[in-house]
Amino acid sequence: MRRDGGVDERFAAYVRERGEHHLRVAVLLTGDWHAAEDLVQASLVKLYRAWPRLDQGTDPDAYLRRIMINTRRSWWRARWRREAPAAVLPDVVSGEDLADRQALGALVRQALGGLPRQQRAVLVLRYCEDLPEAEVARLLGCTAGTVKTHAYRGLRALRDVLGAEFDAYAVNQTRASRRDSE
């Protein structure tokens, strides 16, 4: 596949500028650093093939996010779910020490990994990518109400798993419904 240097250079500049961001999103989607690298690489190959056809006035981030979600979904469907070994959970995380922050990040990634894939995708897109509900719904092919339900249930499950660590960081607190108070 032969391309002119301008197309290749624009693509390379995009990857240099946004690659780390998409790698972080992929880590949250997959729950595993190595799988995330594979996901980003496979998604970038697909994006590269479509790069000349993309409208230069639009942001390719949305297109790459869609590719990543679809690729992850197809990988998930192709493989049987299997248990992944987990390290021992760290003690209570506190302070601003870098090691503490990394431990908390690992704990959150592990907790995200235990969620159903749709809830995990909604939480990553809503709260890490900061996308509006309508955009998340469009990306996942569901309704905004479904996105809200998955976000609520996912956050509740994270709070159950993470307990005090999660509440201490006050991550987008959801209001309790009447059903929860009964």
> Do 181 and 102 fall within a single domain?
yes
Most distant pair of Cα atoms in the chain: their distance: 64
Q: What's the pLDDT at 53?
A: 86
Q: Does residue 87 lie within any of the structural domains?
A: no
User: Alpha-carbon distance 106 to 169, whole Å?
Assistant: 15
> Domain count of the chain?
2
* Mean pLDDT, the chain cut into blocks of 10 residues (182 residues total): 65 90 89 89 92 82 89 71 58 61 80 89 88 91 93 90 64 42 42
Last residue of a domain, one of 53, 79, 105: 79
Computed over its alpha carbons, how large is the radius of gyration of the chain? 18
User: Alpha-carbon distance 36 to 6, whole Å?
Assistant: 28
- Residue showing tokens 């798993």: 161
What CATH number corresponds to the domain at position 37?
1.10.1740.10
Q: What's the pLDDT at 2?
A: 46
Q: What's the pLDDT at 180?
A: 41
Parent domain of 27: 1-79
User: Alpha-carbon distance 29 to 36, whole Å?
Assistant: 8
